[in-house]
Copies of this chain bind each other. A is one copy, B any other.
Amino acid sequence: MTPCPPKTSCLTCRLSDLCLPFGLQIDEVETLEIIIKNKRPLRLNELLFTKDQECLSLFAVKSGSFRRFMINADGLEQTLGFYLPGELIGLDALFDGHFTCSVDALETSSVCELPLTRLNELCTKIPNLQYQLTRILSKEITTNHEQMFLLSNNSAKLKIATFLLMLSKRFGALGYSNTHFNLSMPRQVIASFLGLSNETISRQLTALCKENIISVNQRQVQIHDLTLLEAIIEPYHSH
């Protein structure tokens, strides 16, 4: 018996500016809030949904982190992306109403559930909400492009550096430290995400430690020199 979680309030949620309520009037946020359903928190490795399942709701990450994955040709789980607080899960299912990947929790995590039928109703009534949803969809596409840029680069060192910088940037945007954070995923998951072996992840991380660019203690990462890390991925400052 888990106690009923407290009713969600977007108005007091510190993530609201990253999430669906961004750009909405107070009364519009209040209307949005009404349709949000509470779910009990998910535990480590617990599935939020699986591939091909019918999509009845979108989910916004309230706390913790999630992982998107599919099963690859070897029958192994291939990680395709991560979701941090404030991000929307399930956008790929708006096309035909079915999830195209599976998503599970990387740690104890919670989500706000947004039933699709009610969300669609609301979008027709609140133009700002429709507009923000479109913006979020577009941003997801940009994020995907950046991930592809990362992946089609063939050096392991470059991939790790980019991965760390990606996390740094996202944690920073959430108001956390961008130089000192915890990885919520094991090496194996990072490896399958980057298309590398977990041994290579280990070796590259220790290499970066020896260069005094970062220090790593288990899942705890500290970036000592953000500039040096960025120099790895942009040696000619060709931004």
A100 touches B137 (CB 8 A): no
- Is A93 an interface residue, CB under 8 A from the partner? yes
B94 touches A152 (CB 8 A): no
B138 touches A95 (CB 8 A): yes
A145 touches B101 (CB 8 A): yes
* A147 and B192 alpha carbons, distance in the complex (Å): 14
- Is A115 an interface residue, CB under 8 A from the partner? no
B134 touches A94 (CB 8 A): yes
Interface residues of A in 197-239 (CB under 8 A from B): 232-236, 238
Collect the chain B residues with CB atoms within 8 Å of residue A142's CB: 92, 95, 100
Collect the chain B residues with CB atoms within 8 Å of residue A133's CB: 134
Collect the chain B residues with CB atoms within 8 Å of residue A236's CB: 73, 75
Collect the chain B residues with CB atoms within 8 Å of residue A75's CB: 236, 238
B154 touches A151 (CB 8 A): no
A71 touches B148 (CB 8 A): no
- Is A144 an interface residue, CB under 8 A from the partner? yes
* A195 and B194 alpha carbons, distance in the complex (Å): 12
A144 CB, min distance to chain B CBs, angstroms = 4
B153 touches A94 (CB 8 A): no
Minimal Cβ-Cβ distance residue in B for A195: B152
Residue of A71, A73, A232 with most chain B CB atoms under a 10 A cut-off: A73
* A94 and B71 alpha carbons, distance in the complex (Å): 32
Question: Would you list 17 pairs from A and B whose C-beta atoms are within 8 A, ordered by A residue?
Answer: A70-B145, A72-B153, A75-B238, A81-B148, A91-B137, A94-B138, A95-B138, A95-B139, A95-B141, A101-B145, A134-B134, A134-B137, A137-B141, A141-B141, A144-B145, A147-B148, A148-B148
